[in-house]
Amino acid sequence: MGNTISLASLNELFDFNYWARDRQLQTCAGLTEEQFLRPLGNSFPSVRDTLTHLLAVEWLWLERWRGQSPRTLLAPGEFPTLAALSERWQIVEREMREYVAGLTEDAFERPLTIVSTRGQEWTYPLHRMIQHLLHHQTYHRGQVTALFRQLGVQPPKVDFLDACDAGFRS
């Protein structure tokens, strides 16, 4: 069975992922500290906590693909400010892009076994895990959009075709 995504498409989706993330982080720069940390009753309490989840899961999957299986996620308390969160995410992005740049089509098909944070073993082809991560990020970006609206803040457009129209790969 062939994989369902090419390396070129994968790179485009990672470019989109970071373009959308950056637009949301730019919007966060206009929030007060109180707004950034305010509990709003969503899957994760605040904008900061939701963004930390996005960062933490991206870091977690990268670590898994590099042969580690961390048992805990990064905690929101590790990122008291938007600057702290952004700085760590830039590091994870650089490492993720380096990892993706080193992939071959063959690596995509190879099954990987990882251990979940709950101790369960999962085995999937790498391309499925990558697609899972990218869909996860999109899902939770939608939650960030909803949190912005709860705060009375105009959320940025972060849809894929909006990114294409904006020339996000330029």
CA-based R_g, the chain, Å: 16
Q: What CA–CA distance (Å, rounded) separates 124 from 115? A: 12
Predicted model pTM: 0.94
Q: What CA–CA distance (Å, rounded) separates 159 from 138? A: 9
| Mean pLDDT score across all residues of the chain | 94
Domains and their CATH numbers in the chain: 7-162 (1.20.120.450)
- Relative to beta strand 111-115, strand 121-125 is antiparallel
Q: Compute, in degrees rounded to 10, the torsion defined by CA atoms 78, 102, 22, 159.
A: -120
Q: Which two tokens stand for residue 58?
A: 């991206």
- Taking the alpha carbons at both ends of the chain, their separation in whole angstroms is 33
- Which pLDDT score, from 0 to 100, does residue 42 have? 87
Q: Which two tokens stand for residue 102?
A: 């080193």
- Which pLDDT score, from 0 to 100, does residue 2 have? 57
Q: Decide if 25 contacts 146 (C-beta within 8 A).
A: no
Length of the chain, in residues = 170
- Which pLDDT score, from 0 to 100, does residue 109 have? 86
- Which pLDDT score, from 0 to 100, does residue 3 have? 53
| Element holding 115 (H helix, E strand) | strand 111-115
CA–centroid distance for 39 within its chain: 21
| Element holding 73 (H helix, E strand) | none
Q: Which two tokens stand for residue 104?
A: 């071959």
Q: Which two tokens stand for residue 155?
A: 């959320």
Q: Decide if 85 contacts 52 (C-beta within 8 A).
A: yes
Q: What CA–CA distance (Å, rounded) separates 2 from 38? A: 46
Q: What CA–CA distance (Å, rounded) separates 113 from 53? A: 22
Write out residues in the chain with pLDDT < 50, as ranges: 1
